[in-house]
Amino acid sequence: MAGKQDYYEILGVSREASGDALKKAYRNLAKQFHPDANPGNKNAEEKFKQVNEAYEVLQDSHKRAAYDRFGHAGVQAGAGAGAGRAGGFGGGVSDFGDMGDIFSDIFEGFFGGRQSARAQTKSRRGADLRYDLSIGFLDSARGKEVHLNVPRMETCEVCRGSGAKSGTRAKTCSACHGAGQVRMSQGFFSVMRTCPTCGGTGEIMGSPCAGCGGEGRKRMLRKITVKIPPGVDTESRLKISGEGEAGLHGGPRGDLYVVIRVEPHPLFKREDDLVLCEIPIAFNAAALGGEIEVPTLNGKVTMKIPAGTQTGKTFRLRGKGFPNLRGLGTGDQMVTVKIETPERLNEKQKQLLKEFASVTGEEGYPEIRNFKHKIRTWFK
């Protein structure tokens, strides 16, 4: 890999550049050196390949870490794999963007539309949808069935998705002659572009359906039942296949993605599959030991604490945590005790504590005794 140019230099960014800075630099360079903008320019084509290779490595956190540590040798098996894959939601909802989105923007800048690279087909898949759902802490542990009201595009019941008025049919588009594409010239090069007259379908609706205005779909509110599995956490994503928007002209439905947000709990916190709980106990209970009542996700249990328990001591209740989403058993509950000192003592209580202190001395407090010994040793 000797003599190969540094990826950060290729993109013109620092080694500390953020993901957004990398993406911005890549967009600008990809547009500048794209072969369609530089026909016949071998230098631009080679530069375009280098830009793609650099961004493909640096936008991936694992590949970037390997490159930062070992240079080109650390990523030689995977570098230069291309521009990545397209992905994400449609229909104007949040997406899971990647390099495919960048190339869509590049083509849009050249040709004036995201569909310019190829003509739309008449039958198209419906858009994926995202639904953000808040659930309670205990529901995330136990699972729950919920009913969602999802606004989405549905196939028109009047025209059954054709978009045409009953008794009529679509006509071949005169602008593209049914091809769905027309040749457009922009500057010094010529490209095929989605037909602006028919929108790429190759047909013109003479008498559109009154129910949907000729689109073949209309927006409606649908109730969908979703089963939330036990163990979900904030940012868990549930894919409900075929519950997105209806496709165009008989195309398949998109999918529905339910993104979970778990509400906080007044007693519990979560760490992976562990449940964390802090419980206050009286100092005499900590000194003498005994049993305390502990809340869990499934009700109260009794837990034994040994005599001489110190504040901050953590105990483990096995199998009282969250079920693992991948079926790897159930986590535990970690109970941390916090010893509380009494306030507003009456005279009798004060006298008893003084008597206790007089007969206990330092022997009853090994940590205090050790600390004083360290002080005496240090300041000799």
Query: What confidence tens digit (pLDDT) does each residue in 343-372 have?
Result: 888 999 889 888 888 887 766 777 777 877
If residue 269 lies in a helix (H) or strand (E), which one and from where to where?
A: strand 268-271
Closest CA to 239 of 248, 250, 228: 228
Say what percent of the chain tops pLDDT 70.
Answer: 84
CA distance 231 to 324: 6
Q: Which of 69-78, 203-212, 262-271, 343-352 has the lowest mean pLDDT?
A: 69-78
Instruction: Report residue 84's pLDDT band, with 50, 70 and 90 as the boundaries.
Output: very low
pLDDT of the residue at 144? 93
User: Among all chains, which residue has been given the structure tokens 């957004």?
Assistant: 20
HSE at residue 281, side-chain half, CA atoms within 13 A, is 31
* CB-count exposure of residue 75 (10 Å: 0-12, 13-18, 19+): buried
- Residue 305: CATH number of its domain: 2.60.260.20
pLDDT tens track for 291-340: 999 999 999 999 999 998 999 999 999 999 999 988 889 999 999 999 99
For 366-378, give one letter per residue: b (16+ CB within 10 A) or e. eeeeeeeeeeeee
Provide the CB-side half-sphere exposure for 37 (13 A, CA).
Answer: 16
Average pLDDT over residues 168-193: 74
Q: What is the mean pLDDT of residues 91-113?
A: 45
Read off the tokens for 39: 């026909």
When divided into structural domains, the chain yields a total of 3
On whether both 97 and 140 belong to a single domain, the answer is no
Query: By the 8 A CB rule, do 195 and 181 touch?
Result: yes
Q: Are residues 30 and 75 in the same domain?
A: yes
Q: Is residue 193 part of a domain?
A: no
Query: What is the average pLDDT across 182-193?
Result: 67
Do residues 76 and 160 share a domain? no
Residue 38 lies in a domain: yes
> Do residues 273 and 250 both lie within one domain?
no
Residue 263 has a CB neighbour count (10 Å cut-off) of 12
Residue 298's domain comprises: 268-378
Q: Which two tokens stand for residue 87?
A: 């992905």
d(C-alpha 339, C-alpha 241), whole Å: 51
